[in-house]
Structure formats: C-alpha cells, structure tokens
C-alpha cells in the first residue's frame, strides 16, 4: 500500500511539473505542437490517398506526400489571403457597423418600453468604452499579422520534420536497449501516427465540407465576409462541442449586426444549426467512428485543461494531444488503468 501511495504521489508531482513546464513554455511549444499536428495531417492525407481506387495504390509514397503537402500549403495560403482580405474589409466598414449597433440598441430600448431611447453618447459612456469596434479591428489586424508569422514557423517545422522522418527508425534502434524494446516503441509510435494522422486528416476533410456548406448558406443570404466566416466555421470544427456552438453563434450575431433584422439572424441560425447537426450526427460518426477511443467526458475535461494551459491553440490541440497521452499510458502496466479510465469503452 505504501508503494502504491508513493507511486501516486510521484505521478501527481510529475504531472504538476509537466503542466507547469507546458504553461511556462507555451510560446515555444505551441508552434511545435502545431507543426507536428500539420505533419500528421500530411501523413494521414497521404495514407488516405493510398486507399483511392486505381490511382492510390499505384502512386509511390513520395508522390502522395508531395501532393498532400501541396494541397495543405495551398489551403494555408488561401487561409492567410481570406483572413487578410476580411480584416481590410472589416476596417472599411467599422463606421457602418457602429451605426447599426446604435440602431439595434435603440430598437431594443423601444421594445422594452424604455422611456428615453439611448443615444450614441450614452451607449458609449455606459458600454462602448469597453467594446470599441475600432480598437477591436486594430487588434484583429495585429492578430492576422501574428497568424502569418506563426504559419511561416509551422511550415518550417513541418518541412524539417518531413526531411528527418526517414531517420527516425535508426534513432529508435540506437536508443532502445534491445531489438524487442525497439520493436515495441516502433509499434506504439506507428499506432499513434496512424490513428492521430487518420483522425486529423478526416477532421480536416469534414472541416472543408462544413465550411463549404456554411459558405453557400452565408453567401445565399448576403452575409458580408462570407468566406471568412466559412473558414472560421471549418477551423472551429477541430474544437469539440464548443466549436459547433461558436460556428453558429458568431456568424449569426454578425448577421444581426449587418442586417439589423432578428428574423434574418434567426433564419441563418437555423440553417447553420442544421448543417452542424448533419455533420455531428451523420458525417462525423460515419467517417470518424471511435477512432481515438476517448470518453466524451474526458474530451470535455481535456478541452478545459489544454485551453487553460495554452489558450485558444490548446482548444484545437486538446483531442489529439490527449489521445496520444492515452495511447502511451496504455503501453505500461503501471499507467494502463489510467488509460482504461480515460478510454470510451475501457478497451485500450
């Protein structure tokens, strides 16, 4: 009993230290984690291309990797272009949105039968001093510039990881104490690579489909910055549970600000909710299944923990990071019970 208690104490202290290091070094570790995640998307996409009838099995690995890399690089360039163009258009329309916001507040005051409808000055004194759209647009521009720099760093990480990938097996052979241990490490790493890579590749495909469907709805209803909102909806697909809610709420609130019409915003909310429902209850279960074998409760807790450690990037990385940890824990007798508890059905 004393040995078990000592092991629990040591494990708890180790987990706290690891969490502290992750929090302190987040500015360094987050781009690295995104680089690894992007690498998994490339490898997973290349693996899925091999399953395409006729052309897939005949294509050599280097061709599939090159094709997957070019497609993802093109998607990143498109992402940066859409984000930059959307920020420019947002800055040009800030006065219009401010005037529309005042009109919405005045309409709300009339509905609530407030004796004197608030003017712009009273709104600014009471609320808008804390919510300045011009300042928000400026911070968005800074965020877009930071995003471009981060993407460049991530692209460099992916390039070097792809180059060094072929030497990984040789490093394992030299690090492992024997052939059996080396084979076990390769098996564990291969399982992680296969499951995480497939998950991220399919999640990316679902995000593209979800973003395309959302763009069609937004463009048909005349919502401004439709490509930006569609891109945001696709990216939020990586965030479990919360991403679906934000993918509906944010475009709907913007539509309310643009049109000043509650009925239009509610109609958009209904259509986007339908798309999210079809994705979450039909496409996602059909394509993903239980590929990562994580309990829904564990996914929610991991989302909270990783967001607390790394902020918004942690929300995007929560599921693949937690799944990797569970797969590693399942390989050791001492930590296997933890992996069983974290799994969806107790099978690891």
Residues in the chain, overall count: 348
CB contact at 8 A, 42 and 158: yes
* Backbone phi and psi for residue 290, each to the nearest 5 degrees, phi listed first: -115, 50
First to last CA, the chain: 26
**In sequence order, what DSSP letters do the residues of 14-39 get, joined into one string?**
HHHHHHHHHHHTHHHHHHHHHHHHHH
| Residue 23: Cβ within 10 Å count | 13
* The predicted structure's pLDDT at residue 292: 72
What is the sign of the dihedral through the CA atoms of 46, 284, 200 and 330? Answer: negative
* The predicted structure's pLDDT at residue 62: 79
* The predicted structure's pLDDT at residue 328: 82
Per-residue pLDDT of the chain (348 residues; tens, 9 = 90+): 567 777 778 778 888 898 899 999 998 899 899 888 888 888 888 887 887 777 667 778 778 888 888 888 887 778 777 777 777 777 777 667 766 776 666 666 665 666 555 555 555 555 555 555 555 555 555 655 666 677 778 888 888 888 888 778 788 888 778 788 888 888 888 888 888 888 888 888 888 899 999 999 999 998 888 888 998 898 888 888 888 899 999 999 888 888 878 888 899 999 999 999 988 887 777 666 556 778 888 888 899 999 999 988 898 888 888 888 888 888 777 778 888 888 877 776
CB contact at 8 A, 86 and 79: no
* The predicted structure's pLDDT at residue 212: 92
266: left (phi over 0), alpha (psi -120 to 50) or beta: alpha
* The predicted structure's pLDDT at residue 125: 55
User: Which of 185, 192, 203, 183 is CA-nearest to residue 280?
Assistant: 203
Q: How far is it, in rounded angstroms, from Cα 128 to Cα 139?
A: 16
* The predicted structure's pLDDT at residue 220: 93
Structure tokens at 140: 């968005």
């Amino acid at each position: 009993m004393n040995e078990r208690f000592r092991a629990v104490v040591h494990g708890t202290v180790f987990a706290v230290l690891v969490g502290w290091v992750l929090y302190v070094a987040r500015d360094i570790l987050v781009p690295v984690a995104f680089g690894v995640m992007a690498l998994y998307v490339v490898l997973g996409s290349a693996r899925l291309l091999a399953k395409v009838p006729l052309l897939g099995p005949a294509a050599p690995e280097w061709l599939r990797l090159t094709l997957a890399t070019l497609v993802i690089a093109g998607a990143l360039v498109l992402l940066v272009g859409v984000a930059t163009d959307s920020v420019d258009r947002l800055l040009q329309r800030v006065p219009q949105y401010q005037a529309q916001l005042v009109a919405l507040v005045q309409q709300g005051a009339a509905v609530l039968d407030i004796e004197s409808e608030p003017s712009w000055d009273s709104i600014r004194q009471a609320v808008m001093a804390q919510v300045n759209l011009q300042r928000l647009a400026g911070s968005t521009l800074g965020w877009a510039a930071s995003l471009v720099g981060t993407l460049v760093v991530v692209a460099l990480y992916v390039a070097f990881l792809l180059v060094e990938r072929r030497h990984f097996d040789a490093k394992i052979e030299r690090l492992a104490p024997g052939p059996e241990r080396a084979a076990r490490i390769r098996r564990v790493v291969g399982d992680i690579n296969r499951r995480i890579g497939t998950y991220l590749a399919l999640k990316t495909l679902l995000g593209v489909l979800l973003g395309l469907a959302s763009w069609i709805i937004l463009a048909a209803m005349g919502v401004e910055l439709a490509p930006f909102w569609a891109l945001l909806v696709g990216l939020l697909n990586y965030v479990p549970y919360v991403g679906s809610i934000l993918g509906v709420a944010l475009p709907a609130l913007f539509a309310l600000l643009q049109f000043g019409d509650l009925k239009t915003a509610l109609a958009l909310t209904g259509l986007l909710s339908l798309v999210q429902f079809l994705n979450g209850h039909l496409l996602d279960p059909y394509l993903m299944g239980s590929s990562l074998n994580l309990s829904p409760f564990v996914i929610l807790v991991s989302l909270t923990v990783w967001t607390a450690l790394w902020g918004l990037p942690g929300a995007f990385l929560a599921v693949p990071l937690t799944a990797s940890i569970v797969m590693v824990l399942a390989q050791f007798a001492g930590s296997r019970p933890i992996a069983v508890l974290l799994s969806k059905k107790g099978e690891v």
